[in-house]
Amino acid sequence: MRILALYDIHGNAEALDAVLADPRAAAPDAIVVGGDVVPGRFAQEALERLAGLDVPTHYVRGNGERESGDPTLLAWPTTVELDGILFCHATPRDDEELLTRISAPERWAAALAGVTQPLVVAGHTHQQDDRTVGAVRFVNAGSVGLPYEGDPGDARWLWIEDGVPHLRRTAYDAIGAGQRLLDGGDLDDSLHASLIAPVPAIEVTELFEARAAQRSTRETG
């Protein structure tokens, strides 16, 4: 089975179009949209593109959809299992949990405790990753619309064929797309950090780790 996994589009319809036009993303048997199509200036356009695809499409609710309050988006499930693969937004237990490339092994183990599927696919941190945690392979598909990779902003996505994940990136006019999002009224600071003037990936990773520590302190304190 061929699965195209699209995560964290964040209203960047141009990035989505670029991925859908990439020959390596052609003819999937199914598409999984892994959450956070919204927020974003052109989120409605992105949703319309996805709805118009002639491929079985499965939606996972991200924190963006949850926070939107839109009843249609709130109805999306928090996890989807397809071809023996578990798809979630951040982790199987939490749509906002921040696990990064430098997270401690015990945090990874706790987040994936009880998972029986051999492969888990997620997003949320906007950084691609591929690791093995015990018996589970965890792959972060990265972000289609707002990648925090420290480069010109190529759209990130995941192709899975016969259960084997392949991380991909597609070049497009990311700077122009970011500027058009700004011109359209999208004031999200992440546009600069990801598309217009990308910051080093490690800076975002360390920021997310600090946020994860603060969240843990609030929950335990």
| 5-26 pLDDT per residue, tens | 999 999 999 999 999 999 999 9
Question: 57 or 40: which carries more pLDDT confidence?
Answer: 57
Q: What is the pLDDT of residue 218?
A: 74
Q: What is the pLDDT of residue 189?
A: 77
Phi and psi, residue 112, nearest 5°: -105, 10
| Domain spans, the chain | 2-220
pLDDT confidence band for 143 (50 / 70 / 90): very high
pLDDT tens-place string over residues 151-174: 988 999 999 999 999 999 999 999
pTM: 0.95
Residue 152 or residue 124, greater confidence = 124
CATH number for 2-220: choose from 3.30.479.10, 3.30.70.360, 3.60.21.10, 3.40.50.2300.
Answer: 3.60.21.10
pLDDT of residue 12: 95
